[in-house]
Structure 1
Amino acid sequence: MKKQRLVVAGSGSTYTMGMMMSLIEEKERFPLKEVVFYDIDEKRQERNAKATEVLFEERYPELDSFSYTTDKQKAFEGADFVFVQIRTGGLAMREKDEQIALKHGIVGQETCGPGGMAYGLRSIKDMIQLVKDIRKYSPDAWILNYTNPAAIVADALAREFPSDDRLMNICDMPIAIMISYAKLLQLDVWDLVPEYFGLNHFGWFTKIYDKEGNDHTERLKNLIIETGFKPEDTEIANDVSWQKTFEQARQMLIDFPEFLPNTYLQYYLYPEQMVDKEDPANTRARQVIEGRQKRVHDTCDFIIKEGTAENADLHVDIHGVFMVRAAESLAYNLAERFIVIVKNNGIIPNLPADAMVEVPCLLTSQGPQPFTVGEIPTFYKGLIEGQLAYEKLVVDSYFEKSKQKLIQALTLNRTVVNVSKAKAVIEDLIAANKGYWPEY
């Protein structure tokens, strides 16, 4: 089994340490010869890197080499896989996005509505440049992109790199939801076989089977409605915001019982309720800054100071395991089933062929092999078409530098649906994102 050279781009991320634990957990299935951290923020990267050095010495002695750098050539030359998780503008800009939206009485959220638009417009430029840099030094490396908002980023990358068949956009939200399904069903999450359709953060599970072919869908729906629904992944299980989100998913199922919803649909189906629950002085970004970010930074500092990770608060999370297992399937042609983002091309015949849809695929050494979904019902088709139009207009606005298309995009978005609010929030976001957005 070939050992891989893995690069983590955006290694200053608060998710990096969980991913490193996942690499250790999966080292027999996804053996590595070298891990390289790459980030443009040298100081932020260094904390994670120094803690990882200690962690790998203790728990991954088989690894030939670990290093960290801000040099593109050193990072990407000879890479087999690049995991990408960048955040242009950092959590500080996320907080501004959310506060600006809430100021106008609109959902303040990282990937949905105005926040998703703002983050997407910041991400596109850096993601395009990053892919160009990777391809300059490693034309055949697999690029697995986690960067949010994945729907907007995936559309932009598909336009810029239409023939790059080793660039894949993936999201861990479906598998994070499936962990909760597995807990209710008393099954292992990796034994579940989902059927799913939609856009990123905008989709539905239509069936949940196990590997023996047993259909658990109706039993699962009844369990959620009768006993409740809560997050089970270790990264979010104790997070009050995520607990409320999973409670709202139960209400979505009660209101629309045909399919099991992605949790992010709450922002589009109940936007006024979502606004009422938010506090501009304590946004979700602020909670992450004072919660997960502080916890991860404190853990890294503890490991560095003690010179050991033995007593550190580290755990394997689904973000990392999902990414690593997807890489395994691609590297060794395992043809395992994952929900990923691919170009539609008839998968859902009553949606546009160029839509970047999120559906089950077998991941092989030739790339994702999607399952056909078939035509979807009118209600879901209508919701998706509106969201898809919003996403495409945001990407259009980036390439065309068109403020008018931004206004059109937010007017279509279900979190806004108001021209005056769309105009006002766009003006504030343009001012806040000077230097990050195109010049409109």
Structure 2
Amino acid sequence: MSVLEKISSEEIISLENKYGAHNYHPLPVVLSRGEGVYVWDVEGKKYYDFLSAYSAVNQGHCHPKIIGAMVQQAQTLTLTSRAFYNDKLGVYEEYITKYFGFDKVLPMNTGAEAVETALKLCRKWAYEKKGIHENEAQIIVCDGNFHGRTTTIISFSNDENARKNFGPYTAGFIKIPYDDIEALENVLKSSKNIAGFLVEPIQGEAGVYTPAEDYLAKAKALCEANNVLFIADEVQTGIARTGSILAVCGNCTCENACEKQSTYVAPDILILGKALSGGAYPVSAVLANDHIMNVIKPGQHGSTFGGNPIAGAVAIAALDVVNDENLSQNARRLGKIFREKIGEFVKTSNITTLVRGKGLLNAIVINDTEESDTAWNICMALRDNGLLAKPTHGNIIRFAPPLVMNEEQLLDCISIIINTLKQFEK
């Protein structure tokens, strides 16, 4: 088949099914172009993107500043590995550490890699700084978590589909209910071998499960009192998605994380990814202060591509866009409108029971079981009506558009969503 020959959506899906591993179940739409809040399929149909590549494309598809930085750097120097210095990494490291208020950053590529890095860092700190005996450190995690699908991470996952037949599993983790301060306190009291508490400020994959407003602050205080590291996984919630630069910033209105803000819960280790590159390139990061990060010595952790020149240039541009275009404020304002409008519909609806979220990370709960195909069928109808979203946990639909969306576009999308849901009223 000639590369110039136009291929239909059906043919492309067939190619993936034949030659690709079946580790995903995509919505049957084949996208070939994106710009801002829109994507187009190979036949030229235009859609609103209401998933943003799981919040990686917060700055919108193909943002010219981010793509420009990537192209310019790609034409100059792409990769040196960490065997040598390059002229972009130090500049990026200074930028991101000052941006988020930490001493040091360990650059990686993907969210799962960054989580694995944070776990290693936490354990090493526990043995060398806290004095826990080697191989006895434990890390607390939450039920319903999603931190990736590596062997270590699935060892403490509740998702049996991701776990089954992938054992033996990695030890050293204690699971507690999410949004349960008493459970956290009890575990911390029960063992002197607790090294860290790994938590998502909002559980996105679990259905945008948003905890009590004081949950993170109370959890951090308990960690401090017990000399335990508070590890915030902001791979999905970070970079303005929830209406502040980080979800741990609570309701503060500053652009950057700031220790002076009373609502800011300062993580001991912060994990970032996805929108750190605006969806243009794999970039992730683990940030911590010197007393934690300095336990890592040469040869103890790394990545050939982590900290490459393109990643540094792209991440700086991506974070600049967040500030320049006031994306935190926009997410906060539009998210409130979204929940208000959808909430009004939910009050009179038989097909939906709840809307929840923060900023422009939201979800609706469908009035059916997790085993039903109702949410999937609704997403198929949304696709037909020009909006792309995806179910999570069977009966929940997540809505997370690019943060560059304006109010007129949002209201159009709300109309599409409500009119589509009405087709499924019981």
Query: Which category describes the TM-score, using the shorter chain as reference length?
Result: under 0.3
TM-score normalized with structure 1 length: 0.24
TM-score normalized with structure 2 length: 0.25
The higher relative CO (CA closer than 8 Å, separation ≥ 6) is in: 2
